[in-house]
Structure 1
């Protein structure tokens, strides 16, 4: 994975993650981190879990609904 500041990197796709725009969030992470799709997916899921824990009211769908039509 490309180098970067983890403090800055952590929130680069937050709006997309909260809004459920998974593909756009993955693209943003790939571009920002300079990483593979698999690494971007790992980063996305990790950040999703943090946001679900820290900002649960910001999500409009359940965990199951969020991932319902996404196959990786």
Structure 2
């Protein structure tokens, strides 16, 4: 489920999913999210509809 949210650019849903699944803080979930995002970008670049810059354009942590 987190991978689907990450690929779709649903950052908040992905963070919530990781918090629930890992039982961690929001900060830890963000670190996990970014690491997984980077891995998915390398392994499945065609699955992402937006460029890296567009993906993170409206997200500020």
Q: With structure 1 as the length reference, what TM-score do the two structures score?
A: 0.83
For these two proteins, the number of residue pairs brought into alignment is 61
Counterpart of 2:24 (choices 24, 35, 56) is: 35
Computing the radius of gyration from Cα coordinates, the structure with the larger value is: 1
Gaps of 5+ in 1: 1-11
- String of CA shifts for 1:3-23, please: whole Å, max 9, x gaps: xxxxxxxxx410000000000
Higher helix share: 2
Which aligned segments of 4 or more residues in structure 1 are displaced greater than 6 angstroms? none
Q: Does residue 13 of structure 2 align to residue 17 of structure 1?
A: no
Counterpart of 2:35 (choices 25, 39, 46) is: 46
Query: What is the RMSD computed on CA atoms of the aligned residues?
Result: 0.6
